[in-house]
Amino acid sequence: MAFGLYYARSHISMTNISSNIASRLLRQRLPRVCVAVIGKNPAEMVTKAEDFARDNPFIEFRLDYLPQPVALFPKLKGFVEYHPHVNMIATCRRANNGGRFKGSVAAQVDILVKAAAAGCQLIDIELESATQLKAASWEKLRKTGAAIILSFHDFRSTKNLDKTYQKMCTYPADFIKVVSTAQELHDNVEMMKFLERRSDERPVIGLCMGEQGLISRLLSMRAGSAFTFGAASAGEETGPGQILARTLRETFRIDQLDVSTRVYGVVGDPISHSLSPVIMNTGFRRENFNAVYLALHAKTIQDLMACVRDIPIHGLSVTLPYKEAILKYLDRTDQMTTKIGACNTVIRSQDGKLYGFNTDVAGVIRPLEQRMALLGAKILVLGAGGAARAAVFGLKDRGADVYIMNRTAGTGQKLAKQARAKFIQRKQLSKLTFDCIINATSVGMDGDLGKEKEQPLLTEKELNTKFIFEMVYTPAETKFVKMAQAKGIPVIFGSEMFVHQGARQFEIWTGKPAPVDEMQRVVHHALAQRGQAGKK
């Protein structure tokens, strides 16, 4: 018989009752986010802990990152004296189990016992070590009076959660921590269902690692996880996909998430570059709307749709490559979306029906309307893909005189026919003047710079227009923009379109006007930061 099982059966009545009371009390006052702190030496670790002590008084000391974990404890005692309100977890994860500690299980236990003596109220030991512990070692750990977190990490997948949990329950731990890896978005749902099933039985901590695990890192607490983990700073993540503790609190407002919080997201593949979470979460916070907005990296649309149903997700921003593919999953789309043949906004009604809209149209129309009357305005749209279709149909709807030019003439002509616009050849350009020329091609986008070098979209001579509108927003200063600026032509930047399409989504979801200025401000800030990062 495994030792854990024996121990649990023979000691459960006394040890577990008292420790469960302790852990329940502890859970009640634990903050939602525990910041994982690493460091090359004790001084660095304590300095970082000092930085977090006020705003995030729950810290995990990753002792396994230190060459000499015990060297931390004299400093830790000093820290505790000045910060008695801070909750502290001591973790000394062994290298075999995803950590860095190279010592034996006995040495690990010894370090955890000393950490508790130095003031850590919680100690973490992984299941793999627990299976090797003798009764005397358990006794040593329990005698410290610290709450024991028994943890298990699956670095490959999310499976057998209940089986793992049941095995873990045979040990006398106060918290059961089960961490898996999300291979697809729906793994988060599996984790949250597991937490819902088990969190009434005993204190559980659960989340999925990996880029696909974002949903559970944020929402697992409302499924019953006692708390979650956040990184101290970028580059210091202690697990794949770990989010900054500050981002969890400030962007995602994790302290306010509850069962009635609505979940929205932007879905695409790839999606990590998207600024939509920044603007939407800013908007929700500003308008006091109880909602959270996540970046969802869906590798298949089936995976996404299963999450929409099971989480449930209340609304989606849809981006490449799903704008067309999503149509067949929707119950209804508005007329404009049907005409364009692409949907970038989904709202889920209370009865679970999905409605699709295309707010790229508003993204094009609103910035233009602020500068000119669209009725009769002469507008040239470059391109005939999804973005161009939204611009062309939207502009025609407002009575503009729309021209289309496209590299592949056939596609351009087809769109012109559908929208009753005019298709023109490049050679006609020098004889025409426009109120605005819109770049709705992908030329100029970050990954497309090489192509742009070979073949500029237009030459300076062909730029006979009062305004240009650059739909590309990363980078902000494309060749098209620079050429217009050199000629003194005012530019409508892609970031403005991005904000307005988002603002319209916000209105559809919340029924409230969007805080456009605030959204614009955060986008500029984020783009400026990106630009600086790019220059480093």
Interface with ligand ATR by CB under 6 A: which residues?
383-388, 406-408, 411, 440-443, 451, 455
The owner of tokens 């490449």 is: 320
15 vs 442, beta carbon nearer ligand ATR: 442
273 vs 451, beta carbon nearer ligand ATR: 451
Residue 298 CB, shortest distance to ligand ATR, in Å, is 17
**Among the options 48, 167, 177, 323, which is catalytic?**
323
Other CB atoms within a 10 A radius of the CB of residue 534 amount to 10
Q: How far is CA 198 from CA 151, 163, 170, 405, in A?
A: 15, 12, 14, 60
Residue 300 CB, shortest distance to ligand ATR, in Å, is 20
Task: Answer for the pair 228, 248: CB distance below 8 angstroms, yes or no.
Answer: yes
DSSP 92: -
* Token representation of residue 191: 């984790």
The yes-or-no answer on residue 323 being catalytic is yes
Q: How far apart are CA 386 and CA 166, in angstroms?
A: 51
240 vs 385, beta carbon nearer ligand ATR: 385
The owner of tokens 């499976």 is: 159
Q: What phi, psi does 44 have (nearest 5°)?
A: -65, -40
User: Of 339, 340, 363, 373, which is closest to residue 470 (Cα–Cα)?
Assistant: 363
Residue 471 CB, shortest distance to ligand ATR, in Å, is 8
Q: How far apart are CA 410 and CA 415, in angstroms?
A: 9
Q: How far apart are CA 277 and CA 292, in angstroms?
A: 9
Residue 385 CB, shortest distance to ligand ATR, in Å, is 2
148 vs 440, beta carbon nearer ligand ATR: 440
130 vs 364, beta carbon nearer ligand ATR: 364
118 vs 384, beta carbon nearer ligand ATR: 384
Helix (H, G, I), strand (E, B) or coil at 179: strand
* Token representation of residue 251: 């962007």
Q: How far apart are CA 29 and CA 427, in angstroms?
A: 72
Task: Answer for the pair 80, 61: CB distance below 8 angstroms, yes or no.
Answer: no
Q: How far apart are CA 191 and CA 159, in angstroms?
A: 9
Computed on alpha carbons and rounded to an integer, the radius of gyration of the chain in Å comes to: 28
In the complex, residue closest to ligand ATR by CB: 385
133 vs 463, beta carbon nearer ligand ATR: 463
* Token representation of residue 469: 């509108």
Q: How far apart are CA 496 and CA 258, in angstroms?
A: 33
Q: Characterize 132-147 residue by residue with b for buried, 16 or more Cβ atoms within 10 angstroms of its Cβ, and e for exposed.
A: ebeeebbebbbebebb
Instruction: Judge if the upstream peptide bond of residue 42 is cis by omega within 30 degrees of 0.
Output: no
Residue 403 CB, shortest distance to ligand ATR, in Å, is 14
CA 52 to chain CA centroid, nearest Å: 22
- What contacts 309, CB < 8 A, 6 or more positions away? 352
* Token representation of residue 38: 């690493």
Residue 358 CB, shortest distance to ligand ATR, in Å, is 12
372 vs 445, beta carbon nearer ligand ATR: 445
Residue 104 CB, shortest distance to ligand ATR, in Å, is 57
20 vs 411, beta carbon nearer ligand ATR: 411
Report helix angle 135-143 to 105-117, nearest 10: 20
Residue 127 CB, shortest distance to ligand ATR, in Å, is 48
104 vs 408, beta carbon nearer ligand ATR: 408
Task: Answer for the pair 379, 403: CB distance below 8 angstroms, yes or no.
Answer: yes
Q: How far apart are CA 98 and CA 20, in angstroms?
A: 28
Residue 434 CB, shortest distance to ligand ATR, in Å, is 18
Residue 391 CB, shortest distance to ligand ATR, in Å, is 9
User: Of 323, 316, 394, 325, which is closest to residue 355 (Cα–Cα)?
Assistant: 316
Q: Characterize 222-234 residue by residue with b for buried, 16 or more Cβ atoms within 10 angstroms of its Cβ, and e for exposed.
A: bbbbbbbbbbbee
Provide the annotated active-site residues. 323
